[in-house]
Structure formats: structure tokens, C-alpha cells
Structure 1
Amino acid sequence: MLTVLFLLDRFSLLLTKILMVSVVCIVGLHLIGATPARSQSPLAPEVQQAIGAEPGSVVLDGKTLFQIRSNFGPLSALQRANLTNEQLSAVASNLQISPESVRAENVQGITLIVAGEKNVHITTITPEDAKAEGATQETLTQKYVATIRSSLITFREQRSIEKIVRGVGYAILATLLFWLTIRLLNKLFAVTLDRLGNWLEHYSDRLKDANRGVLPITPFITVILHFAELGRSVLYLFLACVYLFMIFGFFPWTQGLSSNFWAIIGATLAETERAIVGYLPNLFTLVLIVFITREILAFIHLFFKEIKLGSISLPWFYADWVQPTFQLVRFFVFALALAIAMPFIPGFKSPAFQGVSLVLSALLTLGAASAVSNIIGGFIVVYTRSFQIGDMIKIGELIGIVLEKDVLVTRIRTPKNVVITIPNSTILSSNVINYSTLAKDLGDTTGLVLHTTITLGYDIPWQKVHQVLIEAAQATPQILSNPAPFVLQTSLNDFNVSYELNAYTDCPEYSPEIYSDLHRNIQDKCNEVGIEIMSPSFLALRDGNHSTIPEDYLPNDYKTPGFYVDASKSQPPT
């Protein structure tokens, strides 16, 4: 009764926890839904009208100079930006064209930006471009000309010999500084670990005494050390990134990567933040599913534990069913929880996730058929209770004591101390002979019947044979006196009689030793009463030979008999 009340109390506590977590998740979801989303200020309607397609960026040496937002004739804004980039790169590489030669020329309301004496065309400014930028065409032209001139000057200054030599020097200095920093951090980390280890070794007993009855401190120190190792790796990675982007910033060909480093980091962090905030509702749902599953499994584990301890009695439920039944129930709870949680896992609806799922399903279907059959066979073996741990069984031609019953295999130990692993599917398709079921049954007093057969001649009285065999069985250790041994005459052969000795034992695991002792006692008892165990072919030449009984059992005056010849029946030669 107390156990039932305890289980009911645990069940009510489980429902209370689930209710509290559900309320917290619902409130959190409402708070997330009430958070105002970040919105970008839209462009003015007239600007949106002027933009004909996706804008294109004009870039020189990794730096964005301006953007082209409108189409011009058959060219889209992106195509115009690509052509401008090609022309601008050609002008920047041509040292005969000075930055001061960049100028604007008006042709029928359209402004052309050209450079050099040959009027190399760089870009075109249309009224639609000015309208898209929200400025006049003249103002936009002056801005573009000034931007292009300054970018050309910077481009050529960065590629001067002085700048390159200075960049090489800065790169060497940065490399040396990076190497010294890594060496210093390695030494600092090693010294910290040594001091912490010495401190733990010196104060371990004191820590154990001070922390007795609470929690061991060593696992926490190990966890802290692992986190410290992780932090060191992250720090090294960050320093390596900073070093690389510093090196990139010293040379004009890679300055674009360096100048965009923090922009890349910022964009990555912003994207990560958006992904995390957007995933929070699903995360709350997953947390709720995990919590409910954990509490249900804890309650199920407690229920089966009470059954195993005997606090809860179910007449139809055997003790050896507790563990496999718990495993089955736990598997189905896990499977149900996983099926409910799968739609809330990140990337569940992505083609990559679905493709991997299909591949794994195909692999499991094709390669796990044998394992599934073994698992099913293992549970069938458990629930049919064909044998238990410690039983002496025979499966096919294999005989041994059961050492282990697993979900996939069963292990037995043969009388020769050889451990054999048998798949459960093989057991399911074979006959299982259990020598221990009745021998260990307290309600059964018969035990296991051991039997052996000998053949003796017709000249020996059967009553004498029965008596000798029963005495041999009674003299054998681990043979039960009650029920008493008995002898069956199984066949009357041409030259001998088959006598089968049957004896009971409650120790089937010692059958080989019992058989050996029984056969030895049969030999001794037969020799004591003068019974020779011989084959018919030996009996045919018996007259005149020495007895086969050992010397210890023969009389002191025994002599080997001679051949007997009946002269009265002999016929004279004719």
C-alpha cells in the first residue's frame, strides 16, 4: 500500500513539473512573439520606381565606390556595374592615364565619365541614376568623378615599392608577435595546469574530508580543465584569424579581405542572432518534449524497479521479464518522443536532411535485417522462458551452461570451458533442450534422469545385473537416492542383453563428471562380483584365455584355464 501511495505521489509530482514547464514555455513563446521585429526603412516610392533591377556595386581594390541602381537600354544595373568595374580596373592598371584626367562629358542629356587623352569610357550617368540616388545629375556626376579620382590615387599609392617593402616589414613583425604570443600562452597554460595538479595532490585528502557527504570535487576539476582547453583552442583560432587579416591588410592585393573582416564577422553574428531568435519557439518545444520524456522514463523506471524488488506483486509477471520489458517500453517512449520532436529539429525540411534520412533508412533496411531478427528472437526467448541464467541446455549439437542472455546473442559455457556465442535467431529456429528446468523446480522432486547402457551375455542372471547397476548408481556422488535408481532391459540382442541404468540427479551442470563416476563405479561393481563386460566377438575365443577381470578382484589361487577338448566326440580319421 505504501508503495502504491509512493508511486501516486511521484505521478502527481510528474504532472506538476510538466504543467510548470508548459506554462513557462507558453509565456516565453508569447514574449518572443510580442518582440517587435527589426524593420528596415523602405526606400521612397519615387526611388523604388527608378530602380529597374538588382543594384550593382562598383568596386576597386576590394572597396565599394558607389552603386548603380537603374537600367540603361538593354543593360541591367548589374551588367552596367560589371562593365564599369572592368573599365575602371583597366584605367587603374594603365599608368599612362593620370587620376587628374578623369572628367565628365555631357552628350544629349547623358553624362559620360572618361579618362585620359583617348577618352577611355569608365561609366555613364543617366537622369534615372540621379533620380534613384535622390540627387541632381550634376551633383551625382561631381561625386562620382571625385570618388573615382581618389580611388585611383589610393590604388597606385598602395602598389608603390615603398608601400610593399613596408608591408613586408609589418608582416614579419606581426608574425614574430603572433609566435611570441602563442609561446607565452602555451607556457602560461602549462604552468597553470602544473600548479593546479600540485594543489590537488597536496590538498586532495583535505578536500575529501571537507566535501564528504556532498559531492566529489575531482570530476568538477576535470570539467573545468576541459573547458579551459576548449577556451584555449577558441582563443588560438581567434588570434590566428586576426593575424591572417592583419597580414592581408599589409598588401594591396588582399586589402579587400582585411577591410571586410569585421563586416564579415558582424554579418555572421547578425545572421546567427536572427537564426537563434527565429528558432527559439521550436527550441522551447524541444525542451518541453525532452523534459516530459525524461519524467515519464523516470516514472517507468521507478515502476519496474518496484516490481523487481517485490514491492509490487503481479502474479503473471515474472522477475526475469522486468529488464527486457523496461527496455521495450523505454524504446517505444524514445521512438514516440523522437517522432514528435523531429519536425522541430533545425533543417528537418531541408533536402539534405531528407536525403541523409533516406540513405540511413535504406542502409538500416538492407543491413540490419539480421540484427532485427536477432533482437526479436532475443525477446521471444525471454518471454517464452525456455531457459534461465545458469541452466544446462542443449541447442542443436551444443551443450553448455547459460552465462548471458543478451538482446542479440546468448552465451553458453561448454563442459570443456569453451564460451560459445549463439545468435538469438538461431535459437529461435532450433530445438532447445533444458536439463535444469525440473531439476531446479522446488515443486518437483524427481530431478534430471541420467541413463547409460551396457550389454551383457545371457549366461548372467538379470537379477544380478540389476542389483550391480543399482549399487553402482548409489555409490556415485550427486545421484539421488530418492527417487531410487532403476534398470530397464531395452532389447534382447542376438548375443547379449541391453541393460539401461537410469538414475536421478539435481545437479545437471555436473552431468559429465557424474557420468564419468557412474561408469567407473559400474566397472568396479561388475569386477567385484565377477561379471566380465566383453563383446560377443571376444566371447567366441573365450575358452583357455586369462580372465579380463583385474588381478585385484581375482582369487589368490586363480590359474589360467586350459583348452577343454571332449575326446568322446572326436572322430578317428578315415
Structure 2
Amino acid sequence: MRAFTCCRALLIGLGLLLLGWGPQLAWSRSDVAAPAQLRWLQRDIATLRAPLAGATPQERVDRALERIRALPVAAMDDPLQALPFVLGSQTGVQFLLGDHLLFSLLREDLDPELRDPDLQAQADLVRTRLELARRAWHEQRDLQVWWLALAKLLGGTALAWLLVRGVSGGSRRLGLWLEYRRRHRASETGRIDWRELLDRLASRLTGLVHVLLLLLIGVVWVEWVLAAFPLTQPVAERWHQWLVEQLTWVLHGIGQGLPGLLTVLIVMLVTRAVADLFSYFFDAVQAGRVQLPFLHPETTSATRRIVAALVWVLGIGIAYPYLPGAGTQAFQGLSVMVGLMVTLGATGIVTQAMSGLLLIYARALRRGDFVSVGQVEGVVTEVGPLATKVLNLRNEEITVPNAVLIASPIHNFSKLADTQGTLVSTQVTIGYDAPWRQVHELLTEAARATPQFRAEPAPRVFQRALSDFYVEYELIVSMDRPIERVAALSTLHANIQDAFNRAGVQIMSPHYLGDPPQPVVVPPERWHPVGSGPA
């Protein structure tokens, strides 16, 4: 029987030569031919790489599939044979199902990347695959197998539906409970509590786990359904293999990234410790327990922020190379894009920030100072890194950019309030017919009658100018609360009017069209009038 089979294979080879295909059998590895995969019933049988008798690998695959489809049903029970053959310079194995030739596997079809390719081992593997495909062909025509597959489909679908309902209901109830507990704690404390933050994080993680479980159920259900039918069993196997490869890749990536993540965690912990150490030092400076000639309490807050930013930037710079994926092209491209955006868009922000630092370190103003900048006058409520907020007397909050403050003169009425108080001045013009000593006395008495002004230092009156029609007098007083400056000036002006009215001194400054008949002078007997001050 075996001799008869060998003779039949030899006759087939001679027939090929007689048909004129012999000259075209020569093949070398230098020929360019794309490999073709022979697949039957969704199962990989063999990979053909070499041309045979002028047929490309793809044509060989097409002809093999045509032969398999043309097989009679009774031939599927015939024995499967793998017979070696030698044809010219080529050697291979022919696969036959009974007397029907399926296809041939040449030595040149073996994977060239294999170090020591074994034709017989590859032939045994192909024969095993053919046997499995033939078994699937029989199972596909078995009604009992189909009923069993349908039962698996219905049972797996019902179980998946129950799991989805259970996971969704449990996740929803757990999320509502966590959200209720978070809101309850927030209403109890009235401030941020770390336990509230943990509840919020747990609520978000619950949603993420819910999605992952649903995805897992869907993946397992798809694999179960595909594996239930003989025709789609190879698809289920490839699906399972792909999932295992992806999961292995993810776990391998996590394993490779763990040392780097551990290093990043250590660097961040050390950075946090250094930042806390500097914060403790600046708290001592701000409280006055540590005094340094170059660091003032009012600049401590800004210096603390700058030092903390520098410490964290240094820590992030040290930890950056250890982040997983830090050396990839995507990570580098993202870094370049972010840097470009910051460079193009942060010019104005940097200008405002530097102006804010200049204001703070120049100690031009601070929170609570009563200042006047241009048309803005009020109390400083906040000195921010980009802008300063001022609350004026009409209870309007005005935001002034720091660059504008730097470019404008800043009148700080509270700077020296702790020493001699804030100085406030008002001016009045009186004609030359009023004795200047009396005017000094009247202005001083009016200042003393105003309760917002300090008795020490005493009010002072200066003669600013001897103009053509009047003498310019300026009254300078001191007060403790600059915020009351406008109200105090209003009270002072009212007291000045009352004092001058009671003394009969005219505040209105006359402009003459002609000289009076007698000189406008103050005789010596009126230089010191008695009882001229306010009552």
C-alpha cells in the first residue's frame, strides 16, 4: 500500500513536468513573493511562502481551498496522509485526504527566521491542524452540537445580564451612600475635611470600578459565545490570546514602571518635607521669633510662596526623568507644546507677577493701608501676585493691575501711622486785611475741635504763598485712622467755617478792580485780637 502511494506521488510529479511546468519549478529565495495564509473554517493551517509550478503563494492557497470545497462529504472520513516528495531541487510534503490531493508544503515554505527549520516537524503540526479542522467540520454538521452551543449562548447571556444588573445596582447604591456620607460630613464640619475628600475619591473610584467590571463581563461573554460554536472557536482562541497579550503587556509595563514610580514618590516626599521645613522657618520669621536683616514680616508671605515654588519645581525636575514614558516622543512633544504655549501667553502674566513682587519687596503698601493711586483712593484689601484690590469710600472694590501701580505714584497714608500718625492737610486763602496770627489761631482751634485728629503732634499752620490777592494758609494735622480721612476733613472744614464766622474774618478772597482810598493793612493794635477764636 505504501509503495502504491509513493508511485502515485511520483506519477503526479511526472504529470506536472509533462504539462510544461517543469522549467518553472526552479525557485530561489531571491524571488519576491508575499506569503499567504491557508485558513480553513477560521483555522490557520499553514503559511505558504514559495511559488510552485509558476503559482504564487496566494494562488496555491486559492487552489487548495478550491480542492477542499470540492471534496465529497464521504471523503471527510478518509485517512489524512502526509507524504514526502522530491521534485527536482525541491523537497516537500503532500497532504492527501484519501485519494484527494489537498496541497503541498515545500521546505522553502518554512519560516526563514528559524535557525534550524525541520520540515517533518512542521508537517506534523500542519497535519494536526488539519485534523482539528476536519473535526470542526463534522461538529458543524452535528445537530446536537448546535443545540449545546445554543444552550451555552442562552445560559451565558442570562448570567451576564444578571451580573450586569447586580454590579450596576451595587455600584449605584454604594455611590449614593458615599455621596450621602460626604455631604453629611461637609454639613457637620462646615470646612474641608480629609475624610470628605476620601469619600469623594472613593465615589469616583466606584464609578471607575463599575465601568471596568462591565467591560470585563462583556469581554468574557463575547469569548464564551464565540467558543460555543465550532466555526467561531478559533476566533475565540485568538480573542483570548490577544487579551492575554494585552494584559501581559500592561502588567509588564506596570512592573517596569514601578521602580520609577517609587523613585518619584520618594522624591515627592522629600520635597514635601523640605517645603514644610521652609514653611516652619517663615512662620517663625512672621511671628517675630526669628529676625533677619534682609527679611521683613510683611514680605515673608511672598518669600514663602517663592521658595515653595522653587522647591517644588526642583523636586519635579528631579522626578521627571523617572516618570514612565518620560523619554517617549509623545511625552517630549507634549512638553515642547506646553512650553511654547506658556512662552507665548505668559508675557503679560509674568510682567504683572514681577510688578507684584516689586511692590511687596519695596514695601510700598500692604493689606489695610489707606492709599491713593491716581484716581483710586481707599483701603488695600488684597495684594495679589497679579493685581491689588482697593476698597474705596463708596464701598466699591477696585482691582488695579500691579503694573499700573508700579507706573503710578503711590500715596500711602498709613505707612507712618504707628509713629506720628497719618498727616492730613487742607488749604484756605484769606485776604491781606486779616491778621495772620488770628488766622493761625482760628485754624488751630478748628483742628483741635475735630475729634478725629490727634493732639500730638500739635496742628501746624504754614503760609504757603503771598499771592496777588490773598495769603495761602495750609493746616497740617495728624490722625490715627486714615480710613476716616474724608469724614475728618469734612468735619474740619465745617469747624473752620464756624470759627471764622464767629470771629468775623472773611474767608472769601477778594479780587480788586481798583485800589481803595486807604491802604489795606493790619495796624499793630489789631495784630493780637482778643477773643477771636471759636467758642
Which TM-score applies when normalising by structure 2? Answer: 0.71
| Deviation for aligned residue 1:200 | 12
Deviation readout 1:342-379 (Å, 9 max, x if unpaired) = 22222222111111111111000000111122222222
Q: Which whole-Å CA distance do the structure 2 matches of 1:103 and 1:511 have between them?
A: 112
Say whether residues 1:65 and 2:39 are aligned partners. no
1:14-413 correspondence runs (5 A) = 58-67=38-47, 80=57, 94=69, 100=76, 107-108=87-88, 109-111=90-92, 122=103, 124-126=105-107, 129=110, 135=118, 144=126, 147-148=129-130, 150-151=132-133, 154=136, 158=140, 171=153, 174-189=156-171, 227-249=205-227, 256-413=234-391
Say whether residues 1:507 and 2:481 are aligned partners. yes
Deviation readout 1:517-538 (Å, 9 max, x if unpaired) = 1112222222223344446589
One-letter code of the match for 2:422? L
One-letter code of the match for 2:426? T
Q: Is the 8 A contact 1:97 1:115 kept in 2?
A: no
Seen in structure 2, the aligned counterparts of structure 1 residues 258 and 464 have a Cα distance that, compared at 3 Å, is same
Q: Is the 8 A contact 2:179 2:203 kept in 1?
A: no
Q: Is the 8 A contact 1:61 1:255 kept in 2?
A: no
Partner of residue 488, structure 1: 462
Q: Is the 8 A contact 1:476 1:517 kept in 2?
A: yes
Seen in structure 2, the aligned counterparts of structure 1 residues 270 and 217 have a Cα distance that, compared at 3 Å, is closer
One-letter code of the match for 1:182? V
| Deviation for aligned residue 1:262 | 2.6
What secondary structure, in the 3-state scheme, does the structure 2 residue paired with 1:260 have? helix
Partner of residue 449, structure 1: 423
What secondary structure, in the 3-state scheme, does the structure 2 residue paired with 1:401 have? strand
The two structures, once aligned, show a CA RMSD in angstroms of 4.7
Q: Is the 8 A contact 1:60 1:85 kept in 2?
A: no
Q: How many residues align?
A: 469
One-letter code of the match for 2:449? A
Structure 1 stretch 186-195 or stretch 503-512: which is displaced more?
186-195
Q: Is the 8 A contact 1:104 1:145 kept in 2?
A: yes
| Deviation for aligned residue 1:251 | 6.5
Q: Which whole-Å CA distance do the structure 1 matches of 2:96 and 2:510 have between them?
A: 127
Q: Which whole-Å CA distance do the structure 2 matches of 1:310 and 1:416 have between them?
A: 36
One-letter code of the match for 1:490? R
Seen in structure 2, the aligned counterparts of structure 1 residues 501 and 297 have a Cα distance that, compared at 3 Å, is closer
Which TM-score applies when normalising by structure 1? Answer: 0.67
Seen in structure 2, the aligned counterparts of structure 1 residues 120 and 140 have a Cα distance that, compared at 3 Å, is same
One-letter code of the match for 1:411? K
What secondary structure, in the 3-state scheme, does the structure 2 residue paired with 1:481 have? coil
Partner of residue 12, structure 1: none
Partner of residue 212, structure 1: none
Sequence identity, in percent? 26
Ranked by relative contact order (alpha carbons within 8 Å, sequence separation 6 or more), the top structure is: 1
Seen in structure 2, the aligned counterparts of structure 1 residues 104 and 63 have a Cα distance that, compared at 3 Å, is closer
Seen in structure 2, the aligned counterparts of structure 1 residues 391 and 332 have a Cα distance that, compared at 3 Å, is same
Seen in structure 2, the aligned counterparts of structure 1 residues 95 and 516 have a Cα distance that, compared at 3 Å, is farther
| Deviation for aligned residue 1:474 | 1.5
1:536-555 correspondence runs (5 A) = 536=510
Task: Structure 2: state its 5+ residue gaps.
Answer: 1-28, 515-535
